[in-house]
């Protein structure tokens, strides 16, 4: 899982320079796909997963998650989430980041920054004996204290030799509730933070999820390992820190 996680983060590193005005998300998908398959000799998990047609998810502006890469050109000021999951030797690494296309508005930049802080607050809670409710509460409080909302229909998940496993990792909740964490658990923390209301709408492609009020949304994701002392991030690029 460490290898798969590092590979997923490597894909997000390499794609950054390509996120520029005028490129399409389909072109970004092709770059990521070729690197995963040809260079890493691994498998992009989303491709053909329950019918998903591409190798990465690309969610622009008011798209919350599961955006399908297409031929629409990105424009200056867009914000973009790229979600990459790599399978290597039967194990999965799942991670996502926000990218700016040119210079975003101050409001968009703040949303992305707070969304990152929400993920970090959730991760920093992780240790044996804490509960999933503790994680969700830390995330929810930080988002709402900044006057944002947390999407409730989609959540983090256990991961290992399968893409999605138990437990579900909600990004809201009450302290002390839910299953207790134990060393050796692996799961994703990936809060989706909306600038407006939390409500969602699923488009007719049965994948793309947008904000119902068409407000901006931002998301970051790491795959987390519970260690005896706390946590380890399996999708952290070399040289980066949380």
Quote the CA–CA distance of 110 and 206 in Å, as a whole number: 30
- Residue 41, classed as helix, strand or coil, is coil
Q: What tens digit of pLDDT does each residue of 37-46 get? A: 999 999 999 9
Q: Look at residue 220 and tell me if it is in a domain.
A: yes
Report yes or no on 242 lying in a domain: no
CATH of the domain at 113: 3.90.230.10
- Measured in residues, the chain has a length of 242
Q: Edge to edge, what strands does the sheet with 156-158 contain?
A: 165-169, 156-158, 186-189, 222-226, 231-233
Q: How far apart are CA 56 and CA 11, in angstroms?
A: 10
In angstroms, the CA 219 to CA 83 distance is: 9
Range of the domain at 221: 2-233
Neighbours of 159 (CB within 10 A): 25
Percent of the chain having pLDDT more than 90? 98
Instruction: Summarize the chain as % helix, strand, coil (round to 5).
Output: 30, 30, 45
C-beta separation of 224 from 189 below 8 A: yes
Q: What is the pLDDT of residue 98?
A: 98
Alpha-carbon gap, residue 24 to 228, rounded angstroms:
44
Q: What sign for the dihedral angle of Cα 98, 141, 178, 207? A: negative
In percent, the amount of the chain with pLDDT more than 70 equals 99
In a domain, 241, yes or no: no
pLDDT at 240: 73
* Domain annotation covers residue 101: yes
Give the tens place of pLDDT for each residue, 193-235. Answer: 999 999 999 999 999 999 999 999 999 999 999 999 999 999 9
Burial grade of 51 (CB within 10 A; 0-12, 13-18, 19 or more): exposed
Number of domains in the chain: 1
Whether 239 maps to a domain, the answer reads: no
The pTM for the full model equals: 0.96
Does residue 204 belong to any structural domain of this protein? yes
Helices (H), the chain: 2-15, 25-34, 106-125, 132-145
């Amino acid at each position: 899982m460490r290898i798969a996680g590092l590979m997923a983060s490597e894909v997000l590193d390499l794609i950054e320079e390509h996120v520029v005005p005028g490129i399409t998300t389909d072109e970004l998908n092709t770059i990521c796909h070729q690197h995963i398959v040809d260079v890493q000799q691994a498998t992009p998990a989303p491709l053909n997963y329950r019918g998903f047609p591409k190798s990465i998810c690309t969610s622009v502006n008011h798209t919350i998650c599961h955006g399908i890469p297409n031929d629409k050109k990105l424009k200056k000021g867009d914000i973009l989430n790229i979600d990459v999951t790599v399978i290597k030797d039967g194990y999965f690494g799942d991670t996502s980041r926000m990218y700016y296309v040119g210079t975003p508005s101050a409001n968009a930049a703040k949303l992305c920054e707070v969304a990152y802080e929400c993920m970090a607050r959730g991760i920093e809670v992780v240790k044996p004996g804490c509960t999933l409710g503790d994680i969700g509460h830390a995330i929810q409080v930080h988002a709402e204290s900044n006057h944002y909302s947390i999407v409730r229909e989609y959540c983090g998940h256990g991961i290992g030799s399968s893409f999605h496993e138990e437990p579900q990792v909600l990004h809201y909740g009450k302290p002390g509730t839910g299953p207790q964490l134990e060393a050796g658990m692996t799961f994703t923390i990936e809060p989706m933070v909306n600038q407006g209301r939390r409500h969602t709408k699923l488009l007719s492609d049965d994948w793309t999820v947008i904000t119902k009020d068409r407000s901006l949304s931002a998301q970051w994701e790491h795959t987390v390992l519970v260690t005896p002392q706390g946590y380890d991030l399996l999708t952290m690029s070399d040289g980066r820190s949380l």
